[in-house]
Structure 1
Amino acid sequence: MSKVLSDDQMMRLRKVPLFQGLTVAEIRILLDRAVVVTPQKGALLFSQGEKADHFYAVLEGQVKLFTTTEEGEENVVEIISPLMSLAEAAIFLSARFPVNGETLSPCVLVRIEGRAFLKRLEENSLLAQRVLSGMAQRHRLLLNQVVQLKTQSPAQRLGTFFLSLVMAGEGEQVPLPYDKHVIAARVGMKPESLSRALIRLRDLGVDCQKSSLIVADVDRLRRFCEGQAD
């Protein structure tokens, strides 16, 4: 079931990098054909190789982008969190989806039709420039992730991910957003490497259970992730 975007949802979309800098009125122009959809966990949004004629913005939930090998092995490319967009690059290339997209939890998504979106950009060059600026910001975020993968150890990458979950909640229990095998893929490591990294982080006061996480000393973990001597 789908429905038209509410005013509150329009306001939230302003936090998505692709739409940052746009007013609600400008977003309404761009997304006049967009609808809100609420798929359940495990819903396949699009398949690798399909013609890319739409993309999404996530308001609630998480979406997994992944590829599969000929042997059926799954490789997670990225986990898309709330207030992020996905598959927009394929729209601009008038191409096909390079990956599969599947929900990791019940989601609230904005489904945006590619043809209508591109037509609005063609009609308004100022809007087009602002959207391209948002795409550049998204590219910088992805580049930072690549740099992190290249320069940090597995334990540091996992610790950085944990820091993003606990924020200021030092010593408080927080839920893990998805299964550990997905977390491993999210930070670019194999499951066996995840186990070793968890052992290393346990020495720093990180207690990661099946579905929850406690970080006893956030500052200590942050220093470790930044490469400072413990």
Structure 2
Amino acid sequence: MALTKEQRQMILNHSLFSHFTPQAQEELLADAQVRDHPAQALIQRQGDPAERFYLVQSGKVKLFRISADGKEKVVEIITAGNTFAEAVMFMQKSVFPVCAEALEPVKLIGFTNRLMLRHLEQNPQTCLHLLGHMSVRLHQRLDELENLTLQNATQRLALYLVSQVRDRASDSAEIELVLPKSLIAARLSIKPETFSRAIANLRERGLIDSRARHISIPSITNLLDEFAGGQQHIEYKAGLIATDNH
């Protein structure tokens, strides 16, 4: 099935494709495959051979791993306009390191790793952009690892809420949680009941106000100073706490 005009534009505007030559772009567009997945569909399994990476056109994809005792650990939520599995093409053994599941009806655009690698070899500038893209993702994962190992549930939640703030010109913020609270709790490696207690703790201290999925933060400065620590406050002001896509 041929790509629509909207799909072609979305691909060409993405940083992974925008720096290729027109000829290379046309080859990648011709190779692209569009697939629809219903909600809760398993898109890939951990350990499956990885021949393609994906751009999410619409919907949300949950990346997760299954531990030896059968527990699920949410690694990341991929939203529309973002890619996943692109780093796998550089692995010596190209297998998916995680499972991927559609959180809602999802439309994916897939690209062949082998063709992408061939064009990357001929385009050093795009290689640098891809390296920068993966470096940002790595930095975010390292920050998450630090948060999970060194901070308690309320501190993790405070930093998560701060990561949802889009407009950083103001010290106050209004946030709409796009993910179910149970899924946010899973991302933060806390139980749903612990998540609810952490929300209540922040609300009782006057640091947030919550109504269903809507969160109001009267003062980001006070929230960071109270629960996230001075270093995170400095990083937030310097723009070093990344804005989460979800």
Instruction: Tell me, in whole angstroms, the C-alpha distance in 2 between the residues paired with 1:45 and 1:59.
Output: 15
State TM-score, norm by structure 1. Answer: 0.77
3-state secondary structure, aligned to 1:6: helix
Mapped partners of 1:21, 1:144: distance in 2 = 29
Q: Displacement, 1:12?
A: 4.1
- Residue 46 (structure 2) pairs with residue 45 (structure 1): no
SS of 1:66's equivalent in the other structure is strand
- Determine whether 1:89 maps to 2:87: yes
Find 1:80's aligned residue among 71, 78, 91. Answer: 78
- What is residue 135 of structure 1 aligned with on the other side? 134
Q: Distance in 1 between matches of 2:165 and 2:115?
A: 39
Q: 2:109, 2:210 → 1: CA distance?
A: 36
Given the superposition, is the C-alpha separation of residues 151 and 40 from structure 1 closer, same or farther in structure 2, using an over 3 Å criterion?
same
Residues 23-172 of structure 1: pairs in structure 2 closer than 5 A = 25=22, 28=25, 31-32=28-29, 33-69=31-67, 72-93=70-91, 94-165=93-164, 167-168=166-167, 172=174
1:9 shift after superposition: 0.5
Could you report, residue by residue, the CA deviation over 1:44-68 in whole angstroms, capped at 9, with x for unpaired residues? Answer: 2111121111111234332111123
In the other structure, the counterpart of 2:229 is: 227
- Distance in 1, matches of 2:18 and 2:26, equals 14
CA deviation profile, 1:56-88 (whole Å, cap 9, x unmatched): 123433211112346543222222234432222
Report the AA paired with residue 158 of structure 2.
G
In the alignment, is the contact (CA less than 8 A) between 1:45 and 1:101 conserved in 2? Answer: yes
Q: May I ask how many residue pairs the two structures share in their alignment?
A: 221
Distance in 1, Cα, partners of 2:187 & 2:68: 22
**Cα distance change of structure 1 residues 27 and 151 upon mapping to structure 2, 3 Å threshold:** farther
Q: Which residue of 2 aligns with 1:177?
A: 178
Give the AA of the match of 1:95.
S
CA spacing shift, 1:27–1:197, aligned 2, 3 Å: farther
Q: 2:81 and 2:210 mapped to 1: Cα distance?
A: 28
- The one-letter code matched in structure 2 to 1:91 is M
Give yes or no for contact 1:64–1:80 (8 Å, CA) kept in 2. Answer: yes
Taking structure 1 as reference, are residues 188 and 142 closer, same or farther at Cα in structure 2, changes over 3 Å only? same
The change in CA–CA distance for 1:127 and 1:113 in structure 2 (over 3 A counts) is same
Structure 1 pair 145/27, CA: closer, same or farther in 2 (3 Å)? Answer: farther
Could you tell me which residue of structure 1 aligns to residue 210 of structure 2? 207
SS across alignment from 2:37: coil
Which ranges in structure 1 are unaligned for 5 or more consecutive residues? none
TM-score, normalised via structure 2 length: 0.73
TM-superposed deviation, 1:38: 3.7
Give ranges in structure 2 of 5+ residues lacking alignment.
231-246
Equivalent residue letter for 1:37: R
- Confirm or deny that 1:3 pairs with 2:6: no
Change in 2 beyond 3 A, CA 1:66/1:215: same
